[in-house]
A = this chain, B = another copy of it.
């Protein structure tokens, strides 16, 4: 006998939770399509040469890689590299700007720890331009994400927007371009290390007190979004990178308002950097209000060139990604959602006596009315049938005995409240459609 265990680091849910998880996937997918994003579905396996064209360091160590026949194969560790391959491969078939979404599992063989998974869903949207991509697409992407988090109904959230050119340009204007990367690396950790450690670390870089004060004041600039933009402009900095960054940031913020994003669902946060090698201007992070300790639940940004390893064409893009497996486990862990009480069926029909054909006919009618339902088919005592119904999580049990068939009135038991009523077929349909 072999123990039926699942590998650690792999999420495997019971059906009630799976229904809840799938409901989130449905919201994400529906919303991506609502804004015109096109689906793609690339293989989980790619040639290692293709998949590891860019990777290195930590990522490469985590990859599941193996040989089969003549092939050196690897499992995808994100959906961005497959997108780059896909776009480069299909350049002349695709319509640019190419708005695509992909929802799928990715794999990282890292040491399992709380909140980290070796197999997890990523739900990505990106817009890829051929040659150029208008900055207004940087407003589209977080607007879609805002729609999703609103519909998920998991509490207040805030999408924090920044533009990396603003900080870069600001540091250049202070004459700190030589150590700009080091400062940005520290800013990236600002929220984690706190202001005091941040200041000490700046001192270690031999930055003088005046500049340290300026940087700190800059990072904690307050006010509304438009006040922040105004204050940035009022700094009187003429550095081109800085001015471009502020102008782009202003366009993104204003266009998001145009897309109808609620004012309290997004903000400017000048401390957001998101690593150093990939994003080039706009960057995003998303926090759940009151649960900031969970970290960013959806991030992304603008990149200059998606697929330089596969094509000479310049393909700028902007995208965001929801790591749904991790997010779901965090939501359950933090008690933001319950463990899932949903059922697939609206009703379960329990035949009593010789009424099966009538029950099947009733089920057919309910299904024709877009109502999910099941008929219990085991030939067992009534108490076993009602026990199955009770455990199923389904709200209504419809009891169909020979009396019910004759009268055309069904005994409908609310399995949550325990109450039972007698309903005609059309009343029953009305009840279930509520």
Interface residues of A (CB under 8 A from B): 1-7, 10-15, 18-19, 21-22, 33-47, 49-50, 53, 64-66, 68-69, 71, 73, 84-86, 88-90, 93-97, 99-100, 105, 107, 109, 118-119, 129, 132-134, 136-137, 140, 255, 258-260, 307, 309-312, 344-345, 348, 356-357, 360-361, 363-364, 367, 372-375, 377-379, 388, 391-392
In the bound complex, residues from chain B placing their C-beta under 8 Å from that of A2 are: 49-50, 53, 309-310
* Copies of this subunit: 2
**Knowing A105-B44, A119-B44 touch, does A35 contact B3 (C-beta < 8 A)?**
no
Q: In the complex, which of the residues B6, B310, B373 contacts A1, with contact meaning CB atoms closer than 8 Å?
A: B310
Q: How far is the CB of A309 from chain B (nearest CB, A)?
A: 5
In the complex, residue of chain B having the shortest beta-carbon distance to the beta carbon of A6:
B43
What residues on B are CB-neighbors of A361 within 8 Å? 258, 260
Could you tell me if B311 and A134 are in contact, using CB atoms closer than 8 angstroms? Answer: no
The reply to whether B377 and A34 contact each other, CB–CB distance below 8 Å, is no
Distance, CA A41 to CA B19, complexed state (A): 10
User: Given A1-B309, A50-B2, A344-B36, are A7 and B43 neighbors across the interface (CB < 8 Å)?
Assistant: yes
Contact A137 B95 (CB under 8 A): no
Further pairs besides A140-B377, A259-B360: 15, Cβ < 8 Å: A1-B310, A4-B50, A5-B85, A6-B46, A6-B85, A11-B43, A13-B40, A14-B94, A15-B38, A18-B38, A35-B374, A44-B119, A45-B118, A95-B391, A136-B356
Q: Check B15 against A100 for contact (C-beta < 8 Å).
A: yes
- Are the C-beta atoms of A7 and B258 separated by less than 8 Å? no
Contact B260 A364 (CB under 8 A): yes
Q: Which residues of B contact A49 (CB under 8 A)?
A: 2
Decide: A42 and B12 in contact? CB cutoff 8 A: yes
Q: Give Cα A434 to B133, complex, Å.
A: 33
Residues on B with C-beta less than 8 A from A360 are 255, 258-260
A15 contacts B35, CB within 8 Å? no
Question: Smallest CB–CB gap between A32 and chain B, Å?
Answer: 9
Q: Does the CB pair B22–A39 fall under 8 Å?
A: yes
Q: Is the CB of A7 within 8 A of B46?
A: yes
Residues on B with beta carbons closer than 8 Å to the beta carbon of A89: 4-6
**Which chain B residues border A133 with CB–CB below 8 Å?**
378
Are A19 and B38 in contact, CB atoms less than 8 angstroms apart?
A: yes
Residue from the list B95, B364, B377 in contact with A134, Cβ < 8 A: B377
CB nearest to A102 among chain B residues: B18
Tell me the smallest distance from the CB of A57 to a CB of chain B, in Å: 18
Q: How far is the CB of A150 from chain B (nearest CB, A)?
A: 12
Residues on B with C-beta less than 8 A from A119 are 43-45
- Cβ-defined partner of A97 (8 Å) among B38, B53, B73, B377: B377
Residue in B12, B34, B39, B391 whose beta carbon sits within 8 Å of that of A41 in the complex:
B12
Q: List 28 A-B contacts (CB under 8 A).
A: A2-B49, A2-B309, A4-B89, A4-B307, A6-B43, A6-B85, A7-B45, A7-B71, A10-B43, A10-B45, A12-B40, A34-B367, A36-B372, A36-B374, A45-B64, A45-B118, A64-B73, A95-B388, A95-B391, A96-B388, A97-B378, A97-B388, A99-B374, A134-B378, A258-B360, A258-B361, A259-B364, A260-B360
A39 near B19 with CB under 8 A, answer yes
Q: How far is the CA of A343 from the CA of B88 in the complex (A)?
A: 22
